[in-house]
Amino acid sequence: MVFSSGVFMFVFLPALLIVYYAVKGRAVRNYILLTASLMFYAWGEPVFIFIMLASILANWAITLIMSRSSWPKLWLTLAVSIDVVILGVFKYAGFITENLGLPRVNIALPIGISFFTFQMMSYVFDVYYGKSQAQRNPLYVALYISFFPQLIAGPIVRYSQIEAEIDGRNESLDAFCEGVRRFIYGLGKKVLLANFVAQLADNAFGYVVSPSVMMAWLGAVAYTLQIYFDFSGYSDMAIGLGLMFGFHFEENFNYPYMAASITDFWRRWHISLSTWFRDYVYIPMGGSRVSHSRNLLNLLTIWLLTGIWHGANWTFILWGLVYFALLVIERETGKTPGHVLTMLAVILAWVIFRGNTVTGGLRYIASMFGLNGNAFWDGGFVFCLKGSWPVILAACVGAFPAAGRFLRSRKVLEAVFLCAVLTVSVAAAVSDTYNPFIYFNF
């Protein structure tokens, strides 16, 4: 089920809100949310829900034993090993067998497996490090893992961040209204901006022969905008939905395209993932409190894992290594590249990320600089730009905070704007075909 679908907006969410607020008692409301979340996931993944539930039960049981054991590290290793094996089998088995020269193993990928697996490991780590108490009620652990707003595409919520809210949150009208506001902004980002520029990106990247230089740049910029508004739009909707039910999720994006360095970019982009790797992998490995060469190895490990986390393809691995190289150069030179060079690097990295193969991605970058003997521009570029420049301009404005700050300072104007966004977004969503979020694949 997709947040921007008619069945979610007009059936699932209204029915859940009515039932949720019609009953009293925290435990009853939690079980309603758990049931609804499992139904939400089973809507598109009726088989894989049993794998998720089995994994939840295993992590709950092992963590409960770990909290009472004299050998907690042994149980931690067991829980993490189970999670990694499950993730590896479903997400990477085909990639591994193919690259070993063996017959490719094709296994269907459960939607959102990377997100809910990392949340399960977060629960185990938080209990192991003493940040949280082991939860005795397995249904509450299941609610934390499967809660539908963040189940499929994040943000990756730490158990320690919402542990108290599972059994002690306070729903309020102010939080509910803020949740509706965030949901509408996220819906507009996805339906009105991301879906539109996605068509431009698909056209440019879909050229049988090399696109013209200008068409290649238009496609790269379009994909840069698409992946931001698609993913941040989902995060906005997830945060908004959480607020409707009394949960407070941390921000996942902070205007990353205004970054003045690669380091700054990764403090602003997919914050829940970068901080997860920092706290649960980088710091336990020694972080920066080790020798220079060991620290470089730690960084290399983190960025290899970041690339691999995104998918079973060499393009993602290369993408991670590119950021490793850029961050090391930035740190070793002590120089800040500035906004323009940072965005140039980000755009080129997204091209690699978007490519079906490494060769295809590098060939596309060559087209951006006219190195494939391609024309500077062509009729396709002129046609696409004439029909899309207002949306591209709106997306560029929306990628920076000025417009949002202006609207928030004028409540009446913002209310009118939100009503307009909701109306147009709903109309577009109802008439559109199924268009899942990019990060459903990860």
Same domain, 190 and 155: no
Average pLDDT taken over every residue of the chain: 93
pLDDT range class, residue 106, cuts 50, 70, 90: confident
Question: Looking at 168, 186, 210, which one is the last position of a domain?
Answer: 168
pLDDT range class, residue 135, cuts 50, 70, 90: very high
**Choice among 18-32, 56-70, 420-434 with the minimum mean pLDDT:** 420-434
Cα–Cα nearest to 78, from 44, 113, 128, 114? 128
Query: In 311-357, which residue ranges form alpha helices assigned H by DSSP?
Result: 314-333, 339-354
Q: Is residue 26 part of a domain?
A: yes
For 157-197, what is each residue's pLDDT tens digit?
A: 999 989 999 989 999 999 999 999 999 999 999 999 999 99
Q: Is residue 306 part of a domain?
A: no
Q: Is residue 146 part of a domain?
A: yes
Q: Does residue 433 carry a pLDDT above 80?
A: no
Contact 156, 118 (CB under 8 A): yes
pLDDT for the residue numbered 441: 65
Same domain, 352 and 218: yes
Distance CA 410, CA 412 (A): 6
Same domain, 217 and 354: yes
* Residue 170 backbone phi and psi in degrees, to 5: -125, 110
pLDDT range class, residue 225, cuts 50, 70, 90: very high
Contact 237, 184 (CB under 8 A): no
Please give the residue range of the domain that contains residue 106.
6-168
pLDDT for the residue numbered 434: 57
How many domains does the chain fold into? 2
Q: Is residue 329 part of a domain?
A: no
Same domain, 101 and 183: no
Q: Is residue 395 part of a domain?
A: yes
> What's the whole-number mean pLDDT along residues 17-28?
95
Same domain, 229 and 117: no
Please identify which of the residues 248, 270, 292, 310 carries the catalytic annotation. Answer: 310
Question: Looking at 115, 135, 168, which one is the last position of a domain?
Answer: 168
For 305-356, what is each residue's pLDDT tens digit?
A: 999 999 889 999 999 999 999 999 999 999 889 999 999 999 999 999 999 9
Question: Looking at 168, 196, 225, which one is the last position of a domain?
Answer: 168
pLDDT for the residue numbered 154: 78
- Strands (DSSP E) found in 107-185: none
Specify the pTM.
0.94
Residues in CB range of 178: below 8 A, 6 or more apart = 240, 243
Contact 40, 116 (CB under 8 A): no
Residues in CB range of 437: below 8 A, 6 or more apart = 2, 152, 153, 190, 230, 231, 233, 234
Same domain, 29 and 112: yes
**Annotation says 310 is catalytic:** yes
pLDDT for the residue numbered 107: 85
Same domain, 56 and 162: yes
> What's the whole-number mean pLDDT along residues 142-163?
91
Same domain, 238 and 371: yes
Q: Does residue 440 carry a pLDDT above 70?
A: no
Which letter, b or e, does each residue of 351-368 get, where b requires 16 or more Cβ atoms within 10 Å of its Cβ? bbbbbeebeebeebbebb
Q: Is residue 286 part of a domain?
A: no
State how far Cα 266 lies from the chain centre.
13
Q: Does residue 382 carry a pLDDT above 60?
A: yes
Residues in CB range of 30: below 8 A, 6 or more apart = 139, 140, 143, 166, 167
Distance CA 58, CA 151 (A): 18
Q: Is residue 277 part of a domain?
A: no
Q: Is residue 328 part of a domain?
A: no
Same domain, 158 and 47: yes
Same domain, 155 and 189: no
Same domain, 74 and 210: no
Distance CA 209, CA 136 (A): 59
Same domain, 127 and 34: yes
**Amino acid code (one letter) for 101:** G
The residue with greater pLDDT, 434 or 369, is 369
For 231-278, what is each residue's pLDDT tens digit?
A: 999 999 999 999 999 999 999 999 999 999 999 999 999 999 999 999
**Choice among 90-104, 174-188, 402-416 with the minimum mean pLDDT:** 90-104
